[in-house]
Amino acid sequence: MTDHYAVFGNPVVQSKSPMIHARFAAETGQDMDYVKIEAPVDGFADALRAFVDKGGRGCNVTAPFKLEAYALATEHTQAARMAGSTNTLRFDGNRIEAHNTDGVGLLRDIQDNLGHSLKGKRILMLGAGGAVRGAALPFLQAGPAEFALLNRSVDKAQAICDMLKDHGEIVLCDPVRAKGYDIVLNGTSSSLGGSCPTMPDGVFDGCALAYDLSYGKGLTPFLQAAQKAGVPQLADGVGMLVEQAAEAFAWWRGTTPATTDLIREMTIPLT
């Protein structure tokens, strides 16, 4: 019997998830389908229940429903609790289990696909939203010398630091001394609007990798600034997209799909 999965969002027409999961299912021999469901902004809970009642086994969740999905869940993984939101649910009777795969997906892309170990490195993350919260614990578990956050709202960044202070060296970035980072990541929404996040002068000095969590935008203003500063490697979030999907797929199906070829096919040259 075919198992049913979906991605919920509003809008959701742009989602690449059905294509990605269809590819994973074909390559791993899984009998499943995966569709897009655009739920009304005020009707996510009803749409989710209707999906479950029709035999839905699990789903991904994108904007604007990640917080509501977290609140509806009856159980939460550590990754979901740390992020305070969920992008992945699975269903078992009356149980709704919540997971967050964004952080693991980002970490795998940087370390496994791009070849940059975080161990002993100095990392700077711009932003303090849900994606950053999701990435923080996996990053700290990778053993960086320092994981610094820089955000317009200092309170939001400080809250993440306070939450994870016992897990590693996570600090607020001092804009006056924001230099010497091995990896600089843009976790803000600036690239979605075609703008560049506010950054201190010299932020790319000594940087080996500049990574924009947005994907499919080509050479974003953030990556343009990195390129102009001479950063030798640039990447957007397409690898993160595929890797977080692979983590969700493994959580649902118990088998981990290959990702390398799909990432290569989906990557837009950053020129």
Q: Nearest to residue 27, comparing CAs of 209, 242, 212? A: 242
Q: Catalytic: 36?
A: no
Binding residues: 15-17, 62, 87, 102, 127-131, 213, 215, 237, 244
Q: Residue 211's beta-bridge partner residues?
A: 185, 235
Task: In whole angstroms, give the CA distance from residue 103 to residue 167.
Answer: 15
Binding residues for shikimate: 15-17, 62, 87, 102, 215, 244
In the chain, how long is the greatest CA-to-CA distance? 60
Of 36, 66, 156, 217, the active-site residue reads: 66
In our burial notation (b when 16+ CB lie closer than 10 A, e otherwise), range 207-240 reads: bebbbbbbbebebbbbbebbbeeebeebbbbbbb
**What does DSSP say about strands 88-92 and 95-99: parallel, antiparallel, or unpaired?**
antiparallel
Binding residues for NADP(+): 127-131, 213, 237
Q: Mind telling me the catalytic residues?
A: 66
